Structure formats: C-alpha cells, structure tokens
Structure 1
Amino acid sequence: MSTNDYVRFVTQQFVSYMDAPKEDRKQQKQQRRAEKEPFLNKWFGVMPLSATLFYRNVKNKRKKSS
C-alpha cells in the first residue's frame, strides 16, 4: 500500500465520518463503548474475574462467621 493510497483511504473515512449526522455519530460511539469488553478481561482473561469472585466469597464467609 503506497502513501497515496493510505492518504486517500484516511480522507475517505474522515469525509464519511463528517458527513454523518452528529446524532448518528454519538449513537455509534455509545454502541462501541457498550460492546467493548472490560480492560482486565481483555488483557488478563478470566483470572481477574475468578480472583474477584473468590475474594467476595471469602469476604462474605468471614462476615457471616463474625
């Protein structure tokens, strides 16, 4: 891909973005945010979730026994 092709592609994407109504752009942005997975799950997989669940379980057991 040459530099000219890249500039043309970026320009087309920018123009199509700017031509879209502002409300549509906001809606697309909110939709992307809703679909995005949490940061810890993305980088570390299921381990943070399992550690959090384990910690909550231990914490609740200590609370009940007190």
Structure 2
Amino acid sequence: MSTNAYIKYLTQQLVEYFNLTKKERKEKRRHRKEDNNTSVLSHWFGIVPFALSMFVRKKIKKRKQMS
C-alpha cells in the first residue's frame, strides 16, 4: 500500500469516526468488546498456552487413573 493510499484510508476512517454521535461511538465500542471473547493469554501468545494446558490436564488425568 502506498503512503498516499494509507493516508487517504486513515483520513476516511477519522472522518467516519467523528461523524458518529457520542452514543453511537459508545455502542460500537461496547459491541466490539462483547464480540472479543478470546482470553488474554490466547490473544498475546496464540494457541501455545491452550496446548500446554491441554497437555497438563491430560497428564493429571492419567495420574489419577493410575492411582
């Protein structure tokens, strides 16, 4: 993307944002927060924490079955 196209895009986004009422901006922000259900660990580190937690749970479950 060229610099001019990027500046044009940013300008359009700013104009659209400022044309919204305060109530619309708050509603849009609230809606965006509701849609984001990913955990902080997954957001920052991807699937690695999830995979590690599954691995640990599996090991714990095996140890309980052996006892």
TM range (shorter): 0.5 to 0.7
User: How far 1:16 moved relative to its partner?
Assistant: 0.3
User: How far 1:2 moved relative to its partner?
Assistant: 1.2
User: What's the counterpart of residue 39 of structure 2?
Assistant: 38
Deviates more, 1:37-46 or 1:2-11: 37-46
Could you tell me how far apart the structure 2 residues matched to 1:13 and 1:41 are? 28
Residue pairs, 1:43-62, within 5 angstroms: 43=45, 44-45=49-50, 47=53
Q: RMSD between aligned alpha carbons?
A: 2.4
User: What's the counterpart of residue 11 of structure 2?
Assistant: 11
**Gapped regions of structure 2 (runs ≥ 5):** 61-67
Paired residues, number: 51
User: How far 1:45 moved relative to its partner?
Assistant: 2.8
TM-score by length of 2: 0.60
